[in-house]
Amino acid sequence: MTDAFDVVVVGAGIAGCACARELTDAGVQVAVVEHDAPGGGATAAGMGHIVVMDDSPAQLALTHYARSLWQKLTSELPASVEYEERGTLWIAADHEEMTQVHTKHATCTGDGVRSEVLDAVALSEAEPRLRTGLAGALLVPDDAILYPPAAARYLLQAAQRAGARLIRGTVTRAGNGAVTLSDGTMLASDHIVIATGVEVSMFPWIRLKKRKGHLVITDRYPGFVRHQLVELGYLKSAHATTSDSVAFNVQPRMTGQLLIGSSRQYMQEDATADAGLVDRMLRRAYEYMPQLASLSATRVWTGFRAATSDKLPWIGPTHDPTLYMLAGFEGLGITMAPAAARLLADHLLARQSAIDPGPYLPERMARAETILV
């Protein structure tokens, strides 16, 4: 027997869960297929920084829109999601980076994102444990942090309460209106959403690269860090498309624990932590905040980001009229999920979108790489 659904979402990461929620809210009958625990993929590895990024106008538009959707959700999020607006501090190490602070400030202002330039003194008042001698920072006060697996679970449960079905199983084939599970189950749907994160081997035409990241979490030190701290050089790190890179990125969780990142590596399939890279990452962190070295680390883990060649996600229809994509979020999937889900729902329900969905359409994959279908 084949069950039929309006929409089948493959993958219950933050993207799939947000999508299920978005669609059930609109009265659509949705099934979500997941072979691990919901929120157990890249979503469990992420830091949960909800951040406006301005790498490109399209990235700025999507992250800004996404952040506003998270803000609307806050009143209903349970305490377990640990949503907290700490504000990002983009830290300038020297005067050269300080000019970037001003540029970023202008970009933010241009898009209606609140931000404030801090000089060296204001920065050390805002974040006394940073080393002295830093040039300043841009404070983006409405950026937030949350605990991603709990957020995914919440969104999925909200969808389930509204009628969505969670089906446990591994999808082995999807397309042409059908989803096949490894146990032989078939699901019929004219709208199949690929939200499998980095696991896209069943779709050989998808060209994404895995980008491995390391994180370290500490014991609880409430108040040690107040904001979400990122070095401006993070952009350079996130940009590097070839070599391994590290950047100072420290996020205080509501629990008082500190998440310390970040690293980016291509061509790595092995999930074990790389001691050399962890060392580089931590040294980078100590350069900004030497006292971190004395804190107690409780765990190191790794995760894989799904990187596209133009650093924008794929949201929308594909060459197969029954297949849709909701993937390729690299290091911003937690942030982007509600907006990406909304854009896809808009498309499926023929609604007008609040931002231009054009830059995220999967069709550009063909243009960019002359492969496909």
Ligand X SMILES: Cc1cc2nc3c(=O)[nH]c(=O)nc-3n(C[C@H](O)[C@H](O)[C@H](O)COP(=O)(O)OP(=O)(O)OC[C@H]3O[C@@H](n4cnc5c(N)ncnc54)[C@H](O)[C@@H]3O)c2cc1C
Element (H, E) at 4: strand 3-4
Residues 293, 349, 368, 371: which binds another protein (CB under 8 A)? 293
Angstrom distance (rounded) from CA 179 to CA 192: 8
Binding residues for ligand X (CB under 6 A): 10-16, 33-36, 40-43, 45-49, 170-171, 195-197, 199, 213, 215, 261, 303-305, 327, 329, 331-335
Element (H, E) at 282: helix 275-288
Which residues share a beta bridge with 231? 91
Residues 14, 89, 130, 282: which binds another protein (CB under 8 A)? 282
Instruction: State the nearest-atom distance from the C-beta of 319 to ligand X, in Å.
Output: 20
Q: Judged by CB under 8 A, does residue 352 bind another protein? A: no
Instruction: State the nearest-atom distance from the C-beta of 212 to another protein, in Å.
Output: 15
Element (H, E) at 148: helix 148-161
Nearer Cβ to another protein (279/369)? 279
8 A C-beta contact, residue 295 and residue 250: no
Q: What's CA 157's distance to the chain center, in Å?
A: 20
- Provide the 8-state DSSP code for 121: H
- Among ligand X, another protein, none, partner that 294 touches (CB below 5 to 8 angstroms by kind): another protein
- Among another protein, ligand X, none, partner that 45 touches (CB below 5 to 8 angstroms by kind): ligand X
Angstrom distance (rounded) from CA 16 to CA 14: 6
Q: Judged by CB under 8 A, does residue 218 bind another protein? A: yes
Q: Judged by CB under 8 A, does residue 252 bind another protein? A: no
Q: Judged by CB under 8 A, does residue 132 bind another protein? A: no
Q: Judged by CB under 8 A, does residue 296 bind another protein? A: yes
- Among ligand X, another protein, none, partner that 255 touches (CB below 5 to 8 angstroms by kind): another protein
Instruction: State the nearest-atom distance from the C-beta of 280 to another protein, in Å.
Output: 8
- Among ligand X, another protein, none, partner that 87 touches (CB below 5 to 8 angstroms by kind): none
Residues 125, 270, 276, 350: which binds another protein (CB under 8 A)? 276
Hey, which bits of 143-281 come out as E strands?
Answer: 144-145, 165-168, 171-175, 178-181, 186-188, 192-194, 209-220, 228-231, 245-252, 257-264
- For the segment 17-56, give every residue that binds another protein (CB under 8 A): 37, 39-40, 44
Instruction: State the nearest-atom distance from the C-beta of 229 to another protein, in Å.
Output: 15
- State which amino acid sits at residue 210: K
8 A C-beta contact, residue 116 and residue 139: yes
Residues touching another protein, count (CB under 8 A) = 32
210-219 as b/e: b if 16+ CB within 10 A: bbbbbbbbbe
Instruction: State the nearest-atom distance from the C-beta of 151 to another protein, in Å.
Output: 11
Residues 131, 161, 298, 368: which binds another protein (CB under 8 A)? 298
Q: Judged by CB under 8 A, does residue 275 bind another protein? A: yes
Strand ordering across the sheet containing 136-140: 116-119, 136-140, 88-92, 228-231, 245-252, 257-264, 209-220
Element (H, E) at 7: strand 7-10
8 A C-beta contact, residue 346 and residue 358: no
Q: Judged by CB under 8 A, does residue 278 bind another protein? A: yes
**Which has the closest alpha carbon to 32: 21, 42, 41, 43?**
21
Q: Judged by CB under 8 A, does residue 221 bind another protein? A: no
- For the segment 159-178, give every residue that binds another protein (CB under 8 A): none
Q: Judged by CB under 8 A, does residue 260 bind another protein? A: yes
By CB under 8 A, name the binding residues for another protein: 37, 39-40, 44, 80, 149-150, 153, 216, 218-219, 255, 260, 273, 275-276, 278-279, 282-283, 285-286, 292-301
